[in-house]
Amino acid sequence: MKYIDLLNFLNPVHFPIIAIMLYFLGAFLIVLFGRNRIVRNCIAFLATGLTLTLLILLVKPILIDGGIIPYWMGNRVPAGGYAIGIALEVDALSLFFGLLVATAVFVAILYSFSYMSEDDNEPQYYTLFLMLAGGVLGMVFSGDLFNMFIMVEILTFAAVALTAFRNRVTGALEAAFKYLVVGCIGSTCILAGTILLYQQTHTLNLAQLAYVIPRVGGTNVTVAFALLFIGFCTKAFIVPFHPLAADAHGAAPAPVSVMISGVLTKSGIYGIIRLSFFLFQTMNLGTMQFWLVFLGSVSMFVCVTMALAQHDFKRLLAFHSISQIGYVLTAVGLATTLGASAGLYHAMNHTLFKGLLFLTAGAVLHETGTTDLGKLGGLSKKMPWTTALFLIGAASISGIPPFNGFASKWLIYQASYEKAVETGNIGFALVTICALVTSTLTLASFVKVTQSVFFGQLPKECENAKEVSWGMRLAMSILAILCLVTGLFPNAVQKLLTIPAGSALFNPNAYINGMWQSHLPETAAPAVQTVGVWNPTNWLILLMIALLSICIVAIASKYDAVRENKGEKVALKYSLFYGGEETEFSQVGGGDLFWGFKQNWRHYFSFMHNLHSGIVNDYSLWAVVALALAMVYALIVL
């Protein structure tokens, strides 16, 4: 139709579709030429790297200038008020999530190069991996509800297949099957919701839906909302779908875990945000805020307590993943600009630190062959890099300043408490308290991991462990540096990324306008203002000054004049004190820690343990009950 100018590819308008296609193309090419290892790695690297570059190039026009890029496949611009073609629309929110996806995928691919090198069926792995990435990116950029459904299905299949990829691992198949069943219930919900919306509005275009739905209404729409909401909750593994995530993470290879927690759950969150802020614009209703905040708070609390009771490294991380998603949902559900930007900030941080943690878990699994906390210990001497990187990740997720987890959590506290004071509703204050306590519980469970895996005593089985290869370390280091950077410059991050993205939530008309070139009145989101003060850079400088000066004083006074064990054999003096006993293996870790806490909560813990029965029927039942509840709630309040 149109003369294709090669240079035209450099127009940012094409970047989104190129980005998505790069992933799928890469997947396709690897099937064809993936036999050779180098070719395979090059293709994967190029596909992910180029995508990331393209998305970074989009930051300027979209996030900073506030533009919106619509893209009609095949240049099928809507005619007659109906959009028939397939559309992409990239606004600040989409791009924000897209960036997260691209970063996580890039790092995970880097990590996979060495991590997966000992597995067979490597080409299939990369194919599935890139399919998953493309699915998520496509879902995030899609301007079309049905395309979102298709992408959700693609990513669900890819995720299921990747979960079962190492099918000799205990529980991999089981987890995949459970995920498939409940995930399909969720997908079916999305499809049913989509079609109900279509029946009412006769369109599938998101922008058009966003324009039409508030003006149509009706029972069908309400039911559709509930169906879509539950469908996206399944993808985000919000309670009551969290056992699926736990099972899947436990069995999947580490980079896949990064994808599931850092990317796949984000797609669910994206869906929920798109649904409730744009399509239905329900988020100014107090009842819907309550619904989201309630779900988020329950998720963050239930999952963190579940995590405390776990004795498998990856399973524990999986529960934490959902707990952090609970934070995101809570913050977004507050429906204030501060809350939304805090939530998105936390979503970003979650991708970074959770990815880092899963990668370190993978490194441990790679070297020792197990992730059971009871069988590990004392790896810090064998794997100092991994330990340091893990500590950064753990500090980030537990909200230890100056890492990124603190910055976003702190904003969430501010946002929720501000909301509480604003509305005079003490319930939101309880959310603040819940969030703060959850944060400490998170710290507790990471102390447990630190002690059980990296410190404590080295068991015999782990003596052959050594530091992982440079490739893996590089991947982890990238994430660690990002954790630190995003934590140290929260203002810059907010200004550059989260506030534009967060403001987009409150300006659905801009989304509609961007797609349709219509001229609906746009509402500028209220400016973000925080009442608290926190300046991590200043604090860090102070800490560094203090630390340095203390170190200088210490070194001057021969603080480092220590006695160390020389030679291979451990002299009596340098052996550990076991109450006088000879060195013996008495690692304290795993489920033995935090008895004092668990003792007080034992009924709760045993109840939760029985609840998570591991039977797929039970989980399906939860899904059905959640669906029913959501429908009833939606019908009552909407």
Partner 1 sequence: MDMILNALKYLAYVLIFPGFLFCFLSGLLLCGIDRKLVARMQKRVGPPILQPFYDFFKLCGKETIVPAAANKFMFLMAPLLGLAALVVLQLFIPVFQFNIPAFTEVADVIVILYLLLIPAVSIILGGASTGSPYAGVGLSREMVTVLACELPLVLVLLSVGKVVGASYQGGICFSMTKIVEYQMSHGSLITHAGLIPAAIAFLLVIPGETGNHPFDAAEAETEICEGMLAEYSGAPLGVFKLNHGIKMLTMTSLFVMLFFGGLGSGIESLVALVGLTGTAAHMVSVLLAVLLLFLLCVIVTAVGISLVHAVTARLKIEQIFKYYWTVVSGLALLSLVLVWYGL
Partner 2 sequence: MMTLNYIASFFLIVLGLYCIVVKYNLVKTVIGLSIMDYGVNLLIITIGYNPGGTAPIFTEGELQAASYFVDPIPQALTLTSIVIGACVTAMSLALVIKLKEMYGTLDTREIRRLRG
Partner 3 sequence: MFKKLIAESTGKSPWLFHINAGSCNGCDIELVSVLTPRYDAERLGFKLTGSPRHADIVVVTGPVTQQSLNRVLRSIEQVPDPKCIVTMGSCPQSGNVFRGSYSVAGPLSKYVHVDVDVAGCTPKPEAVIDGLYLATQILAEKRKEMKK
Cβ closer to partner 2: 145 or 435?
145
Q: 406 is written with which tokens?
A: 């603190």
**Piece in contact with partner 1 (CB under 8 A), picked from 223-231, 290-298, 518-526, 537-545:** 537-545
Cβ closer to partner 3: 563 or 566?
563
Residue 429 in contact with partner 2, rule: CB under 8 A: no
Conformation bin of residue 335: beta by default, left when phi > 0, alpha when psi is -120 to 50: left
In contact, 408 and 483? CB cutoff 8 Å: no
Residue 561 in contact with partner 3, rule: CB under 8 A: no
Residue 450 in contact with partner 1, rule: CB under 8 A: yes
Alpha carbon distance 308, 593 (integer Å): 9
Cβ closer to partner 3: 563 or 569?
563
**Piece in contact with partner 2 (CB under 8 A), picked from 47-55, 133-141, 178-186, 398-406:** 178-186
Q: What is the distance of C-alpha 497 from the center of its chain?
A: 16
Strands 69-72 and 87-90 come out as: antiparallel
CB of 46 to partner 3, least distance (A): 56
In contact, 26 and 50? CB cutoff 8 Å: no
Q: What is the 3-state secondary structure (H, E, C) of 253-316?
A: CHHHHHHHHHHHHHHHHHHHHHHHHHHCCCCCCHHHHHHHHHHHHHHHHHHHHHHHCCCEHHHH
Residue 168 in contact with partner 3, rule: CB under 8 A: no
Residue 448 in contact with partner 1, rule: CB under 8 A: yes
In contact, 97 and 350? CB cutoff 8 Å: no
* CA quadruple 363, 366, 370, 375: dihedral sign: negative
**Piece in contact with partner 3 (CB under 8 A), picked from 184-192, 267-275, 411-419, 575-583:** 575-583
Alpha carbon distance 304, 326 (integer Å): 10
Residue 195 in contact with partner 2, rule: CB under 8 A: yes
582 binds, among partner 3, partner 1, partner 2, none (CB under 5 to 8 A by kind): partner 3
The contact mask relative to partner 2 for 30-69 (x = CB under 8 A, - = no) is: ----------------------------------------
Residues within window 584-623 making contact with partner 2, judged by CB under 8 A: 609, 612-617, 620-621
Taking CB under 8 A as the criterion, the residue among 3, 572, 596, 603 binding partner 3 is 572
3 state SS of 373: helix
195 binds, among partner 3, partner 1, partner 2, none (CB under 5 to 8 A by kind): partner 2
DSSP bridge partners of 372: 312
Cβ closer to partner 3: 80 or 579?
579
Size of the site for partner 2 (CB under 8 A): 49
Where b means 16+ CB within 10 Å and e means fewer, 350-384 reads bbbbbbbbbbbbbbbbbbbebbebebbbbbbebbe
Q: How far from each other are the two terminal CA atoms of the chain, in whole angstroms?
A: 46
DSSP bridge partners of 87: 72
Alpha carbon distance 183, 226 (integer Å): 16
Residues within window 579-598 making contact with partner 3, judged by CB under 8 A: 579-582
Where b means 16+ CB within 10 Å and e means fewer, 391-401 reads bbbbbbbbbbb
Alpha carbon distance 509, 519 (integer Å): 8
Q: What is the distance of C-alpha 92 from the center of its chain?
A: 18
CB of 357 to partner 2, least distance (A): 20
Residues within window 69-128 making contact with partner 2, judged by CB under 8 A: 84
399 binds, among partner 1, partner 3, partner 2, none (CB under 5 to 8 A by kind): partner 1
Residue 40 in contact with partner 1, rule: CB under 8 A: no
Q: 562 is written with which tokens?
A: 């220590």
Residue 228 in contact with partner 2, rule: CB under 8 A: no
- Residue 172 corresponds to which amino acid? A
Closest by CA position to 72, among listed 59, 60, 84: 84
The contact mask relative to partner 1 for 370-409 (x = CB under 8 A, - = no) is: -------xx-xx--x--x---x---x--xxxx----x---
CB of 572 to partner 3, least distance (A): 4
User: Which string of DSSP letters, residue by residue, matches 8-48?
Assistant: GGGSGGGHHHHHHHHHHHHHHHHHHHTTSHHHHHHHHHHHH
Residue 219 in contact with partner 3, rule: CB under 8 A: no
CB of 329 to partner 1, least distance (A): 21
Residue 567 in contact with partner 3, rule: CB under 8 A: no
Cβ closer to partner 2: 185 or 238?
185
CB of 358 to partner 1, least distance (A): 22
Q: 397 is written with which tokens?
A: 């997720």
Residues in the site for partner 3, rule: CB under 8 A?
A: 557, 563, 572-573, 575, 577, 579-582
Which residues contact partner 2 by CB under 8 A?
84, 146, 150, 153, 157, 160-161, 164, 167, 170-171, 173-177, 180-181, 184-185, 187-188, 191-192, 194-196, 198-199, 202, 204, 243, 246-247, 250-251, 309-310, 315, 609, 612-617, 620-621, 624
